[in-house]
């Protein structure tokens, strides 16, 4: 079980990659390690690494390596993303994918070749570091294929299948032989949006670990309240939702992003939101780790962020530890001192799927949907429900391996509360 944080440099945010202040970065990483965390997830920017389709910036690779080395000096493991991609409402896309060179990163043959080259280069730049523990293809790249995106890249399920498998293929054997994990991440649209080209089957099975990103500004807090049992159970629900689609009964799920956004969580409630959210998540078996978003607040002098992005950190702009960080650190210490493995959940709600393991109604799983609400009602009642795809629900051996001894159905009703954007002002 791992506890970590998504690293946001205190000096210059992710623009720090343009001209890293290594003394500041080393200080940040020491602060993170001081909380008792064991890893950071780092986010080099794609346009800096690969400003031209056929040219990779070696200095950019050297900077990734140096940051990982500094993390190791602080006693932290490193997980690195490749395609950034999307970060806090900003997109970082190289110019060879936009405007006059407009092409889809998911389906254009030349783009795929360039991206595979970058994945391999980033992996190889870190491969001999003992604290390098895994590679995520990119941060929520599915957003670029979603119809809510203002400059959507074309892709269908066939394209996203090919993209995911072709990106991981060149380094899969290297990662497996070294004990590192190779994976990808999506935002919750993959679970909640009908017609989305990325699918639960992909999210749950392609890669060594499945990931979920839990943000209650998606309609959950607005409908039910951030401090309600529904609000603080949302991360656990997503973990169980990912488990419902895994083909292997022991495939783990990483809560790779979770945070307390102040547009829906009051500042004074953030520590308690953190505590209750993590306690619910720890009651899910097959949990690989929890990685909070994020380490340091975004400097208030930086413009055009949704306002809540300036207050998501465990540390403020001056490096002071915030109450939420003390709560998170206390939970980690308590868990490590009294670690008890979560038991499997024995009653599962069936999610109807088609022959391709695609839910017949993803919106039924979303906030306001019938599956979402039945799971939440059972969770609040202390019944510890699981979820299971209908393709697995009639396989007695598969259920036994998961510890499920009863499957139940519910009416399928689409939810009407889900929002695919973090801030209504971003919608076009």
Q: Going from the N-terminus, what domains does the chain have, and what CATH number goes with each?
A: 2-337 (3.20.20.80), 347-408 (no CATH)
DSSP conformational letter for 275: H
Strand spans (E) along 189-339: 210-214, 253-258, 287-293
Give the chain's radius of gyration (CA, Å): 20
Contacts for 68 with CB less than 8 Å, ≥ 6 apart: 42, 78, 80, 126, 129, 131, 132
Using an 8 Å Cβ cutoff, are 313 and 25 in contact? no
The average pLDDT across 97-103 equals 93
Give the pLDDT confidence score for residue 421 in this predicted structure: 78
Cα separation, 134 vs 422, whole angstroms? 28
Using an 8 Å Cβ cutoff, are 396 and 169 in contact? no
The average pLDDT across 116-138 equals 98
pLDDT band at 423 (very low <50, low <70, confident <90, very high): low
The average pLDDT across 401-425 equals 90
Q: Is the confidence at residue 247, as pLDDT, over 70?
A: yes
Give the pLDDT confidence score for residue 425 in this predicted structure: 56
Q: Is the confidence at residue 266, as pLDDT, over 70?
A: yes
Strand spans (E) along 61-173: 77-83, 86-87, 90-91, 132-138
For 423, the token pair is: 């801030």
Helical ranges in 179-258 per DSSP H: 189-192, 200-205, 220-224, 229-243
DSSP conformational letter for 330: H
Please give the helix or strand (H or E) that residue 292 lies within, else none. strand 287-293
Give the pLDDT confidence score for residue 154 in this predicted structure: 92
Contacts for 364 with CB less than 8 Å, ≥ 6 apart: 351, 370, 371, 372, 412, 413, 414, 415
The average pLDDT across 298-326 equals 95
Centroid of chain to Cα 184: 8
DSSP conformational letter for 194: T
pLDDT band at 341 (very low <50, low <70, confident <90, very high): confident
Q: Is the confidence at residue 214, as pLDDT, over 60?
A: yes
Residues in the chain: 428
Please give the helix or strand (H or E) that residue 291 lies within, else none. strand 287-293
pLDDT band at 424 (very low <50, low <70, confident <90, very high): low
Cα separation, 423 vs 415, whole angstroms? 19
The average pLDDT across 42-70 equals 98
The average pLDDT across 100-114 equals 96
pLDDT band at 3 (very low <50, low <70, confident <90, very high): very high
Residue-wise pLDDT tens digits, 271-305: 999 999 999 999 999 999 999 999 999 999 999 99
Q: What global pTM score does this model have?
A: 0.97
Centroid of chain to Cα 35: 21
72 CB-contact burial (10 Å; exposed 0-12 / middle 13-18 / buried 19+): middle
211 CB-contact burial (10 Å; exposed 0-12 / middle 13-18 / buried 19+): buried
Could you give the dihedral angle defined by the CA atoms of residues 68, 72, 75 and 76, in that order, rounded to the nearest 10 degrees?
20
Cα separation, 140 vs 407, whole angstroms? 32
Q: Is the confidence at residue 249, as pLDDT, over 80?
A: yes
Give the pLDDT confidence score for residue 31 in this predicted structure: 98
Q: Is the confidence at residue 426, as pLDDT, over 60?
A: no
- Residue 110's alpha-carbon distances to 67, 100, 107, 226, in angstroms, are 30, 15, 9, 44
Please give the helix or strand (H or E) that residue 343 lies within, else none. none
Give the pLDDT confidence score for residue 147 in this predicted structure: 86
């Amino acid at each position: 079980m791992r506890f970590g944080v998504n690293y946001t440099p205190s000096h210059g945010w992710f623009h720090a990659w343009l001209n890293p202040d290594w003394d500041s970065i080393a200080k940040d990483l020491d602060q993170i390690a001081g909380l008792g965390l064991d890893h950071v997830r780092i986010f080099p920017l794609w346009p800096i690494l690969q400003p031209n389709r056929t040219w990779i910036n070696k200095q950019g690779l050297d900077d990734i390596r140096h940051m990982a080395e500094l993390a190791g000096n602080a006693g932290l493991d490193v997980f690195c993303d490749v395609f950034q991609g999307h970060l806090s409402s900003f997109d970082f896309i190289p110019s060879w994918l936009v405007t006059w060179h407009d092409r889809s990163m998911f389906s254009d043959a030349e783009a795929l070749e360039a991206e595979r080259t970058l994945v391999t280069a980033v992996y190889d730049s870190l491969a001999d570091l003992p604290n390098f523990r895994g590679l995520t293809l990119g941060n929520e790249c599915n957003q670029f294929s979603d119809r809510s995106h203002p400059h959507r890249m074309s892709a269908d399920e066939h394209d996203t299948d090919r993209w995911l498998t072709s990106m991981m293929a060149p380094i899969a054997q290297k990662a497996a032989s070294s004990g590192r994990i190779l994976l990808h991440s999506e935002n919750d649209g993959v679970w909640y949006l009908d017609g989305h080209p990325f699918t639960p089957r992909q999210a749950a099975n392609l890669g060594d670990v499945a990931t979920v990103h839990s943000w209650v500004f998606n309609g959950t807090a607005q409908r039910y309240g951030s401090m309600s049992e529904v609000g603080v159970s949302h991360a656990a629900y997503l973990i169980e939702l990912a488990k419902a689609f895994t083909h292997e009964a022991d495939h783990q799920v990483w809560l790779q992003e979770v945070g307390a956004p102040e547009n829906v969580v009051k500042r004074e409630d953030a520590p308690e939101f953190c505590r209750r959210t993590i306690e619910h998540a720890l009651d899910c078996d097959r949990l690989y780790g929890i990685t909070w978003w994020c380490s340091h607040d975004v400097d208030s002098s930086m413009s055009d962020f949704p306002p809540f992005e300036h207050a998501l950190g465990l540390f403020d702009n001056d490096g002071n530890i915030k109450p939420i960080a003390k709560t998170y650190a206390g939970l980690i210490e308590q868990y490590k001192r009294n670690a008890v493995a979560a038991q499997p959940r024995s009653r599962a709600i069936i999610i109807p799927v088609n022959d391709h393991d695609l839910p017949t109604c993803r919106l039924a799983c979303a906030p306001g949907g019938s599956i979402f609400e039945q799971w939440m009602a059972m969770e609040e009642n202390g019944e510890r429900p699981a979820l299971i795809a209908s393709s697995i629900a009639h396989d007695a051996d598969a259920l036994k391996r998961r510890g499920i001894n009863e499957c139940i159905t519910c009416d399928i009703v689409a939810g009407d509360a889900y929002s695919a954007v973090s801030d209504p002002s971003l919608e076009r």
